[in-house]
Amino acid sequence: MDQGPYFDAGMPARLRHIPGLAALALGLMLGSGTLAAALYGTLTRVGPLAPSFDETAFRMQVRGRFTVYYHDPVFRDDASALAEAALDHDLAFLGMPADTFGPGAVHLYLCDSQQEYRRRAPTHPSWEAACADPAETSVYIYRFPDQKRIFYEIVMAHEIGHLCYYRMAGSSPDDWLNEGLADYLGYDFGLKRAGIARQAWLQDNYFASLRSTALPFDVFFRTDPHFLPDAEVGTFYQQGFSVVYLLIEDYGRGPFLKFLRAYAGHKDINAALAGAFPTIPNIGALAAVWTLFYPRQTAAPAALASATPQI
């Protein structure tokens, strides 16, 4: 993530603040309650940390495709294994080679606590769970309690997703796409690993509130969330995820990747949409199609409630 209040903000030059991962209220994540509460309420950021993250007193070891900066070897072993699995997942979904990142190429900074993370980060909003600096191929994250394991796995895949997207497309002016894709990758990875019915859970817990809170699309598609009121930032990222989810789940992974590659090559969102989705010739048509998303809300199976772990 980065610094600044939200995502690609116009903070000092390169700062980008991206409240990712279903961002709503940190209080929901920190309190006890269901997985829905925990995952539905934490912000992350993407972009360069400025001026720099305090790297002093870390031990360092190359483990596979990651150079890991750590204090606790047990945390190092667990986090590096999880990061490798998340990277495999994200690269495979995006159709990128497994060796896109060479040995030690990704820098993974592991803080032992949120307090240490906030002390080392040049900015440290209380809601921040993790951050990624794609230009430096770096991810910064702190140790989560065991009861928040699923959330931790989602965050890891989300942040690594930003690195993969940057490697594919470079910097993107379309914040909704960057963050929406990272959310899709993170939730796909974490919920599948937990054996949770992904579509039912997301429809029931994540997307339902958009019915009443969605931003107007003429604002949504061109907004830098840095300039949104705090109350609308979470909605922006949630809405971005829902648009990406719609394109992938309704039209297929193949057309979506065709769209993504075309967009990466020319940065023309309308041309990329038209080339991949014949019935979606431009961003306005995508907004119209998205309005059909609501009638398809699906209630989660009754068994899911009892299967959902407490976080």
- Amino acid identity of residue 310, one-letter, is Q
**Is 204 a residue whose pLDDT tops 90?**
no
Tokens 């770096």 sit on residue: 138
Across 33-37, 79-83, 179-183, 305-309, the highest mean pLDDT is recorded for: 79-83
- In this prediction, residues 178-198 reach a mean pLDDT of 92
Q: What are phi and psi of 124, to 5 degrees?
A: -150, 65
For residue 278, name the pLDDT band (cuts at 50, 70, 90): very high
The percent of residues in the chain predicted with pLDDT above 90, rounded, is: 50
Cα Rg for the chain, rounded, in angstroms? 18
What pLDDT does residue 123 have? Answer: 65
Q: What is the pLDDT of residues 229-243, one digit of tens each?
A: 767 777 888 899 999
CATH architecture for the domain at 26-307 = Orthogonal Bundle (1.10)
CA distance 20 to 234: 8
**Is 24 a residue whose pLDDT tops 60?**
no
**Is 270 a residue whose pLDDT tops 50?**
yes
**Is 133 a residue whose pLDDT tops 80?**
yes
By the 8 A CB rule, do 198 and 209 touch?
Answer: no
Which tops the pLDDT comparison, 185 or 122?
A: 185
CA distance 288 to 216: 11
Mean pLDDT, all residues of the chain: 78
By the 8 A CB rule, do 40 and 22 touch?
Answer: yes
Angle, vertex CA 178, rays to CA 177 and CA 183, nearest 5: 95
For residue 299, name the pLDDT band (cuts at 50, 70, 90): very low
What pLDDT does residue 215 have? Answer: 84
By the 8 A CB rule, do 36 and 106 touch?
Answer: no
Q: What are the extents of the domains in the chain? A: 26-307
Across 44-53, 249-258, 293-302, the highest mean pLDDT is recorded for: 249-258
**Is 15 a residue whose pLDDT tops 60?**
no
Which tops the pLDDT comparison, 6 or 217?
A: 217
Cα–Cα nearest to 125, from 44, 29, 63, 224: 44
**Is 248 a residue whose pLDDT tops 80?**
yes
- In this prediction, residues 193-217 reach a mean pLDDT of 83
